[in-house]
Amino acid sequence: MTRTWRPLFLLAALGVAVVTVRRVVSAHGLGRHLSGGIVIESPAIYDGLTRILLSPLFRGFAADIEATVQAPATILEVGCGPGHLANILADASGYKVTGLDLDPEMVERARVNAQRAANAAGNEATFVVGDAAALPFADASFDLVLSTFSMHHWSDPAAGLQEIGRVLRPGGRVLIWDFGAGSAPLHAHTPDPTEHLDEGPFEVISVKPWRWPWRFSLCQRLELVRG
């Protein structure tokens, strides 16, 4: 496929995905409300669509993470979904990766995906069920905490950031990719994640658009460091 047709092909695929997801949302609803936030109504469909259509986005995240935090490092992804990013990172030498999600069904899918993605060295991400506002980990357990398209679903983002600060080691980094304030694909409205940055023990390194695909900015990237 030539370079000219690749963008058109991906845009068409994204269009088909949006139509498909809209039909699923109309039939089943986008999400279910739990005490800790909102979880995806159809994990199997979400898993398949994100695997096919968002792989380049996840690999871009992974490359940025590898450039930000050197191995060996312990990494936590809060709101890991079916584990695509966590599994890519676990495949990178030197990272010990844990994924956490509020939905037990999503965590089970992530564990199955981890078994399929395990490399020859046996590196495999670990996945647990948990709430961002009450992380089931000891203080200062991680060098890096990630969140991708999850923070806007948390019931209490301020409590989630406080918990992230608790489990992060001094000098550890936080990378958050999320929608900005306003409308977003398949969402009526999303809050501004930067509103909560002063409520955790962090210094803000940067807040900037994340360009994907091509020149479009699908989301923004927030980088924080624990003081």
Query: Which CATH number does the domain housing residue 79 bear?
Result: 3.40.50.150
Sole residue written with tokens 């092909």: 9
| Residue 41 within any structural domain of the chain | no
Give Cα separations from 149 to 12, 111, 121, 172 (angstroms): 22, 20, 30, 21
| Residue 189 within any structural domain of the chain | yes
Neighbours of 9 (CB within 10 A): 11
Please give the residue range of the domain that contains residue 66.
54-226
Beta strands (DSSP E) in 28-161 are 31-34, 37-40, 73-78, 95-101, 126-129, 142-148
- What pLDDT, on a 0 to 100 scale, did the predictor assign at position 218? 81
- What pLDDT, on a 0 to 100 scale, did the predictor assign at position 216? 83
- What pLDDT, on a 0 to 100 scale, did the predictor assign at position 78? 98
Counted domains in the chain: 1
| Residue 108 within any structural domain of the chain | yes
Q: Rounded to an integer, what distance in angstroms lies between the CA atom of residue 66 and that of residue 70?
A: 6
From the first residue on, what is the mean pLDDT of each consecutive set of 10 residues in the chain (227 residues)?
Answer: 51 47 44 77 90 93 95 96 96 91 96 84 89 97 97 92 96 94 64 78 93 84 93
Is omega for the bond preceding 193 within 30 degrees of 0, making it cis?
no
- Geometric angle at alpha carbon 177, from 109 and 136, rounded to 5°: 55
| Residue 35 within any structural domain of the chain | no
pTM for the complete prediction? 0.84
- What pLDDT, on a 0 to 100 scale, did the predictor assign at position 7? 52
